Chain A
Amino acid sequence: MPFASKALTDDLIQVTLDGRLDIAGTAAIEQPFAFATTGRAARIIIDLSGVTFMTSIGIRLLVATARAQTNRGGSVVLAAAPPLVQQVLETAGIDQLIQMVATTDEARAAMALR
């Protein structure tokens, strides 16, 4: 479960996740992902287009990131989740807690308003 982080502006960061967000995949990135996404207040776009699988453990990671950023005055948008991953997130009610959009372009537009 690799991930990549790219600063689009000083306080706008796009993080791209790939692979499986299950027990093993989440454990493999938990600490560096938290460091990259919660170290300071920022607007974070999490690109899920490469995520092939999601369990409650992966959801916990996303919620923890969004909560930390909200507490710091930042924000998180989830972008481009594949259909089955989106279905898992919606079934868990995450779309009611974290904004989800269909593409990273939409995510950038949403963040431009914040």
Chain B
Amino acid sequence: MSQQLRFTLETSTHAIGHAIARLSEFASCYGMDDDAQFKLDLCANELLANVAEHAYAGAVGEVGLELLLDSAGATLTVVDNGPRFDPFDEAALPLPTSLATARIGGLGLHLVRRFADAVRYERVGNCNRLTVEISGESTLLHPPATVTLPDAVPDVTSAPVSS
């Protein structure tokens, strides 16, 4: 059994904040353990920040989020239609060695690489698809009878889907 949440949002700070809250509430509703929820939260934040910064040359654009939960954990996919950009194709940046020279750019993707169990990039049509997998214990087989999700993200294109 799996549960899926899929919606789109704009890459504004406000919309990203609401989207992150929505993802977290969905994962919590289906019993994802705290450590896995923290990793999912971190990866979602960093991937959305990356899209907001790079996909549309600083302008606000649209991004799709897909979250699949199953008994093994979570699979999160972030989709944008900016120019081809595989952030995982670049060599990992060396960590800063002194305060004077520390640069934080690239650190978010370093955290994604380290906290996710798997990461992958695909170019599908005109879209970049970044996917991360996070393992974690879940009580998906016993979801609550009614799942109430926050209706905070504008332009929601689909409701949760059970499969």
Contacts and interface: CB of A to CB of B under 8 A. Distances in A.
A63 B102 contact: yes
Q: How large is the interface on A (under 10, 10 to 19, 20 to 34, 35 or more residues)?
A: 20 to 34
Contacts of A92: 95, 107, 110-111
A95 to B, nearest CB: 10
Contacts of B95: 92-93, 96
Nearest to B39: A84
Contacts of A53: 38, 41-42
A48 interface: no
Contacts, number: 70
Nearest to A23: B13
Nearest to B52: A23
Interface of A: 22-24, 27, 53, 55-57, 59-60, 63, 66-67, 70, 84, 88, 91-93, 96-98
6 contacts: A56-B49, A66-B99, A70-B100, A84-B35, A93-B95, A97-B99
